[in-house]
Each structure stands twice: as C-alpha cells, then as structure tokens.
Amino acid sequence: MEKLVIQGGTCLNGDVRISGAKNAALPLLFASLLSPEPCIFRNVPRLRDIITTSRLLSELGAEVIQLDPESIQIHAGTLSSRTASYELVKTMRASILVLGPLLARFGEAEVSLPGGCAIGARPVDLHINGLQQMGAVIDVENGYIKARCDGRLQGTRIFMDTVSVGATENLMMAAALAEGVTELENAAREPEIVDLANCLNQMGADIRHAGSDKIIIHGVEKLSGCDYAVLPDRIETGTFLVAAAMTGGKVRCTNAAPDTMDAVLSKLREAGAEVTCGDDWIELNMQGRALHSVNIKTAPHPGFPTDMQAQFVALNCVAEGTGVVTENIFENRFMHVPELQRMGAKIDLENNSAVCRGSSKLSGAQVMATDLRASASLVIAGLVAKGDTVVDRIYHLDRGYEQIENKLNALGASITRVNG
C-alpha cells in the first residue's frame, strides 16, 4: 500500500495551478447520461474518482474517450445496462448521481445503496423521496435502489427538509428531462450546483435560479451534447492556502475561482494572513505574520464548507490561542483528531466540536488517513512537524487531490510517495 513520507520544516512559496473541482466534475460527467449526443468536458481533474466514474459510465455502455490529459468525451448514445453495481458505488458515493439521469432518460435504473462511510451515515432518502414525488416507483431490494417510471417523470414542487448537494443535483438532472415544471425548495446553493446548471442549460435545459434555495426547472424533451470546462476546485485551493499559512509562506493559486471561496478566505484573513485576489488567482502571504486560531462552524454554502474543516483543525493546532471548530454537516467527521493528537496536537473533542488549544509543537509520527480531507489535514500538519510524518492509506487522498505531493514539492515541500 502506498504512503506519503513528509519531511517537516519546509516553507511553501511559489505558484500552484489549481485543478478542476472533483465535486463539480463528478455530477457533470454523470449528466452526460441525459443526452444521446457526445459531451466534452474540459479542465477535468486527474483523480481516482474520475477514473471510477469513467469505469461506471463504460459499464453502463457509454463510450468514454480521454481526449487529452484534462478532457474527456462521453457518448451515451445507447446504453447496454441500467445498473450501478455495489463494487463501484461502495468506492465512490457520488455514483448515486446515475439514478436521476438514467430514470429520466430511460425510465429505469438500479443503483446499489451506498451504505455508511467514515464521515457519517449519509442516507439517500431525499434523492429517493424526490424522485417518487416526480412519479417514480422505487423499491429497495437486496441492497439496490430499483427505480422505474412509465413515460416521463412529472415536474412537481419538492421541498427537501435537509440541504443536500447530491439530492439537489440528482433531482435537478431528473427534472431537466421531466414533463412540466419542477420547483426544488431548500435546494443546496454550492458553486458546483451552479456549474451543473450552467452545463445543463448549455445542453438545452431550462434551469433558473441555481445558486438560490429555490431552483425552477422547466423540463424539456431532449438534451443535446456540450463542450464545458469544469469549475476550479475551491477545496483544493483552500487546502493549499491553509498549508501556505501554516508554513509561514507565500503561495499564489492560479486557475482558481476566488468568488466561490468567501467563507474560507475570510477565515484565513482572520487567522492573520494577507490574502489578495484577482479574477482567477488568490495569493496568500504569511511571511513575518503571526498565525491566530479561528472559530469555525461548518454550514451549507455560503457557510463554511465541511470539506475544509479538517484543514482548519490542523491550522488551529499550530496557531496562537484556542480555536473551536464545530462540525454541523456530518456526524463523524473528526477522525483526523486522534491522528493529529498522535503528532502532539492539543485538541479536546466536545460533542461535535474540536477545541484546539494552539501553539502545539507537532512532531512527525506514523498516522492513518481515514477519509479524503482528514488525509489532507495530516499531510499539511506533516509539513510543519519536526521530523518525518508517514501518512498511510493515501488512496483516500488520490480520490480527490491531483498529484498533491508533486504540487506541494514544487512549492518547496519535501514529500515522497513510497510503497509498503
């Protein structure tokens, strides 16, 4: 199994090019199932999750062609299968996003229930309820969601009692091909939702007010192909900026989307960093400045993203003062805390809050990555620890960060990928 060995004590400086967003690219690739015409996606990050998605689409019978390292063409003209198997769904929860498109276009779909995962139970009841309200008949049997509908799905008003990114995406895709008007109430407002709506509209959909909590979709009979560039990854950007702040460096993220990152940039400024932005770049300068702990409460967008929580826990460990980080989205998203404690961090867990008593002198240790962002927090903690940190189970990292060690090394880090 591969591991990362991080030699601590380096300072990050320079430019890093941000990749396309995993959480935008995945729904976009699944949206290709809605059209019989070829769809081209550009600025696609090179990630394990993208490979999994391509495999899933191929297993359904779509033609997937890698046009260049960052561009993929998907042609779902005719499909040979309507089933997303447990084998693939268990490795990537976003596979649930085949449900809406398959049902809307072909009238049937079978998708394995994803099951719980490291960060929480993550049920899919909102996806299922919403599609049922649109006229689908859905049974859960043998661990599979089996959905069908006679004729087209029917537009309706759907109120989701929890704000869910995935449910909003699944229902928005299904509604794009439904008959009549669908109103999604209490919809998620993440930038990735807006990216998906923009792409669907390029394909001929009629989706209005994506980015607000009430999305209105006028269903159309058919969608065409597209040529669409994926939004930059705000979580990858945030991770590099936190790493720069912790190491006292100066880093410019290029090909970024500053306007998607207000909550994170404001916390970095509160932590003492100088942050400047252009249209598509963000620079963080921490040289000669003191790092202060910050209090954080995760919330749906435009609140502070749960996917940046672990990185800020790492930041608070080495910053001055006490910072309280409260996780409000997922019930079990503090698995990085015991690992950071093994590196010397002073953190107390109180219900859904991590109280970090700062100024910890971290020391390198062998640590275990348990999920994607927890892994990222251990890597950036390793950058400031004394000695070597060995991060195990880095397949989690490879799901969501493109060549993280190469990008960090180009900024001055010293990280090696080893086998065994």
Ligand X SMILES: CC(=O)N[C@H]1[C@@H](OP(=O)(O)OP(=O)(O)OC[C@H]2O[C@@H](n3ccc(=O)[nH]c3=O)[C@H](O)[C@@H]2O)O[C@H](CO)[C@@H](O)[C@@H]1O
Ligand Y SMILES: C=C(OP(=O)(O)O)C(=O)O
Residues designated catalytic: 117
Helix residue ranges per DSSP H, 32-124: 48-60, 86-89, 99-106
Q: How far is the CB of 174 from ligand Y (least distance, A)?
A: 19
Q: How far is the CB of 126 from ligand X (least distance, A)?
A: 3
Give me the 322-341 binding string for ligand Y, x by CB under 6 A, dash otherwise: --------------------
Any residues with CB less than 8 A from the CB of 412 and at least 6 apart, and which?
A: 10, 11, 12, 13, 14, 249
Q: Which residue is nearest to ligand X (CB)?
A: 166
SS3 breakdown of the chain: % helix, strand, coil, rounded to 5?
35, 30, 35
Is 300 part of any known ligand binding site?
no
Is 82 part of any known ligand binding site?
no
Any residues with CB less than 8 A from the CB of 215 and at least 6 apart, and which?
A: 168, 172, 183, 184, 187, 193, 197, 207, 208, 209
Give me the 13-42 binding string for ligand Y, x by CB under 6 A, dash otherwise: ---------xx-------------------
Q: How far is the CB of 418 from ligand X (least distance, A)?
A: 28
Residue type, 253: C
* Residue 398 found at the interface with ligand X (CB under 6 A): no
> From the list ligand Y, ligand X, none, which binds 238 (C-beta under 5 to 8 Å, kind-based)?
none
Q: Is 394 helix (H, G, I), strand (E, B) or coil?
A: coil
Name the β-bridge partners of 212.
Answer: 210
Stretch touching ligand X by CB under 6 A, among 165-173, 256-264, 341-349, 356-364: 165-173
- Please report, as residue ranges, which positions from 294 to 323 form the binding site for ligand X (by CB under 6 A): 306-307
* Residue 239 found at the interface with ligand X (CB under 6 A): no
Q: For residue 371, what are the CA distances in angstroms to 123, 290, 338, 378, 392?
A: 18, 30, 13, 11, 11
Binding-site member from 110, 307, 327, 339 for ligand Y (CB under 6 A): 307
Cα–Cα distance measured from residue 19 to residue 254, given in angstroms and rounded to the nearest whole number = 9
Binding-site member from 5, 59, 64, 120 for ligand X (CB under 6 A): 120
DSSP character at residue 337: H
Which is nearer to ligand X, 26 or 385 (by Cβ)? 26
Q: Is 181 helix (H, G, I), strand (E, B) or coil?
A: strand
Binding-site member from 23, 52, 182, 293 for ligand X (CB under 6 A): 23
- Please report, as residue ranges, which positions from 184 to 213 form the binding site for ligand X (by CB under 6 A): 188
> From the list ligand X, ligand Y, none, which binds 285 (C-beta under 5 to 8 Å, kind-based)?
none
The residue assigned the tokens 């009692």 is: 161
Nearest to 249 by CA among 418, 61, 14: 14
Give the footprint of ligand Y on this chain (CB under 6 A).
22-23, 93-94, 307, 372-373, 400
Binding-site residue numbers for phosphoenolpyruvate are: 22-23
Known binding-site positions: 22-23, 93, 122-126, 307, 329
